[in-house]
């Protein structure tokens, strides 16, 4: 029997591929998955029964003060539910983020050095 997480995979990748074509790549590792597009990343993790937490990471840029590569990190305003509606909202947020939307749709959380774990 297929898990709910596995069953949602086509519901996520299908719309992303429709909007962004072959430019979106994805990787899944256990309870976590990441989608990449144009230097940006959407990382999701199944955190509890029925909930998905997401972190959206901007493409790296050069910080003018420290002269180091860094990336801004954003979070959605709430967790996603592991339902068709929650999945649709998550996909809609991924499309918005990959298309350049940031605040106020997402909450800025940090600027991380390039390659630093969130």
Task: Provide block-wise average pLDDT over 10 residues at a time, the chain (118 residues).
Answer: 54 86 89 92 88 94 85 94 89 96 93 64
Nearest CA to 94 among 57, 48, 67?
57
C-alpha to C-alpha distance for 93 and 117, rounded to whole angstroms: 22
**118 CB-side CA count, 13 A:** 22
Q: Determine the number of helices (DSSP H) and then strands (DSSP E) in the chain.
A: 2, 8
Report the pLDDT value the prediction gives residue 11, as an integer from 0 to 100.
Answer: 72
Give the range of the structural domain holding residue 49, as residue numbers without chain letter: 4-16+26-113
Residue 71 falls inside a structural domain: yes
pTM: 0.83
Residue 108 falls inside a structural domain: yes
What are the beta bridge partners of residue 37?
Answer: 40
Residue 94 falls inside a structural domain: yes
- H/E element, 82: none
Residue 21 falls inside a structural domain: no
Residue 118 falls inside a structural domain: no
Residue 52 falls inside a structural domain: yes
Residue 9 falls inside a structural domain: yes
Yes or no: say if 94 and 16 are a contact pair by the CB < 8 Å rule: yes
Number of domains comprising the chain: 1
Instruction: Calculate the CA dihedral of residues 76, 78, 84, 88 and round it to 10 degrees.
Output: -20
């Amino acid at each position: 029997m297929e898990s709910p997480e596995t069953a949602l995979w086509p519901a996520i990748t299908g719309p992303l591929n429709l909007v962004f074509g072959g430019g979106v790549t994805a990787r899944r590792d256990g309870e976590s998955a990441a989608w990449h597009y144009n230097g940006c990343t959407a990382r999701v993790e199944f955190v509890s029964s029925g909930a998905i937490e997401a972190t959206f990471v901007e493409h790296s840029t050069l910080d003018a003060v420290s002269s180091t590569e860094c990336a801004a990190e954003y979070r959605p305003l709430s967790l996603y539910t592991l339902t068709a509606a929650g999945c649709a909202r998550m996909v809609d947020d991924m499309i918005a983020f990959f298309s350049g939307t940031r605040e106020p749709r997402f909450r800025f959380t940090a600027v991380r050095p390039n390659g630093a774990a969130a």
